[in-house]
Amino acid sequence: MNKAGLTPDVLSLDCASEVTRIGQHMIDSLKRFHKRGVVLGLSGGVDSSVCATLAVKALGPSKVFGLLMPEKDSSSGSADKGQLVAEQLGISYHLENIAATVEAIGCYRWRDEAMRTVFPDYTEAWKSKIAIAGGSGSAAGRISYFKLIVQSPDGQMHEAKLPLKAYLQIVAATNYKQRIRKTVEYFHADRLNYAVLGTPNRLEYDQGFFVKNGDGAADIKPIAHLYKTQVYALARHLGLPDSVCTALPTTDTYSLQQGQDEFYFSLPYQQMDLALWAHNHQVPVEQLASALSMTVEHAQLVYQDIEAKRRATHYLHATPALVEPVEQVKA
């Protein structure tokens, strides 16, 4: 690290060169897979919008197909923003509301059953979200735990510590949404002979912020090597709408608005990007603390949280365990 210390400049990106590099990788991947184009879900967020734009630049709009897949807990503007991006890019797209499907499979029923173990009066008229408490955020040094935050129909907010059994059931139920969306993506990929684009950025990919066989499933992941800060830089470089370039990352999973830092990451994405870069480049914890204006103890907890998430989510990246390799089958 130079005398200037750790600064956001370490995440600077040559956007023009990166667009060319990703585009060529996409072209080469399609040739290797013998596919004609790409399908991706459009949430209206920066990651999917950048991936769609990169695909259009590499392949042309006729070989990119977008999917808008809201359900009843989706934010009101997500499908609208996704449609805006699709129309700006000139790609074909389809709106597939998955609410009836996830309801039929039991997503809302299993979720609400777990909610009622904490708040017995909870019904579908209430709103909810999960948030992390303690850990390496503002209350550094405390043991992390999840809390359930709900809003009753009269607008009153309530929160309580979430027992592990209820937490696991709520997360398992909401994971249905990502897995149903991926099923829809692969249906359209199969009928078009297209590949599926995945949209995780490096922070999400490294730290396991995705659903296995859900949004973690894809044939090509064009931005998994890029920090979130760099994805935003690409969005501005590519001329995406301000509504995309300035939107904060959300999960768009629960009926109450929920930021990614509130649910999973210990810090806002700008700070998490810098911390992850620093950890990956063996930057001393004291320099991270100085860069993020926090105590050394807090910075050490951030490093520990990065490692803990990697250990806990390692299996999300794992391929199926075979008794022995099948040598004739190559990845």
13-105+168-316: CATH architecture: 3-Layer(aba) Sandwich (3.40)
Residue 264, pLDDT score = 74
Helix (H) or strand (E) holding 195, with range, is strand 195-196
Helices (H), the chain: 15-33, 46-59, 78-89, 99-104, 107-116, 164-192, 202-207, 228-237, 242-245, 260-263, 269-280, 285-291, 296-312, 314-317
Mean pLDDT across the chain, nearest whole number?
Answer: 92
Reported confidence tier of residue 3, pLDDT bands at 50, 70, 90: very low
* pLDDT(150) > 90: yes
pTM over 0.85: yes
Reported confidence tier of residue 247, pLDDT bands at 50, 70, 90: confident
Contacts of 211 (CB under 8 A, 6+ apart): 175, 178, 179
Tell me if residue 78 falls in helix, strand or coil. helix
Q: Which two tokens stand for residue 218?
A: 């894809």
Mean pLDDT of 13-29: 98
Residue 249, pLDDT score = 77
- Angle among Cα 222, 177, 68 to the nearest 5 degrees reads 60
